[in-house]
Amino acid sequence: MIARLWTGYVPNEKAEEYVRLMGEIAIPDYKSISSNRGAFCLHRQLGPATMVTMLTFWPDIEAIKQFAGEVYDTAKYYDFDRDFLLQMPEKVEHFEVIGNEFYGDAIT
């Protein structure tokens, strides 16, 4: 299993709205790929900005390409991102997951 991480920063005053949009638009987009194994929006305030991290799980690189395209380490952005993000990182990170079982209803 592969974990895909993207992190961006938004001003605190825009964080609640941005996280709401990620839940309404981004999470369903990730989950629209049948091989997606989970999608989470993590966020925390860090001084004047809120860090937002999208953590998703995929069985392999080919599954990630279904979501992100052939250049799978490039970040995918939504129409609303420019109105919120302080910077738009070009790349995402991928990690091999050791122990690829989730327990109970950890992935919804």
Instruction: Name the token pair of 35.
Output: 């091989």
Q: What is the pLDDT of residue 102?
A: 57
Q: Could you give the number of structural domains in the chain?
A: 1
What 3-state DSSP class applies to 28? helix
* CATH code of 48's domain: 3.30.70.100
**Can you give the pLDDT at residue 108?**
45
Q: What is the dihedral of CA 73, 79, 83, 88, to 10 degrees?
A: 10
Q: Residue 108: inside a domain, yes or no?
A: no
Task: Write down the pTM of the prediction.
Answer: 0.86
Mean pLDDT of successive 10-residue stretches along the chain, which has 108 residues: 96 98 95 94 96 96 94 96 97 88 53
Query: What phi and psi, each to the nearest 5 degrees, are found at residue 94?
Result: -125, 140
Q: Is residue 76 part of a domain?
A: yes
Tell whether 61 is covered by a domain: yes
The reply to whether 92 falls in a domain is yes
**Residue 106 within a domain:** no
84: in domain: yes
Q: What confidence score (pLDDT) does residue 100 get?
A: 56
Which structural domain range is residue 63 located in?
A: 2-96
> Is there a domain that residue 53 lies in?
yes
Is 13 domain-assigned? yes
Determine the pLDDT at residue 23: 95
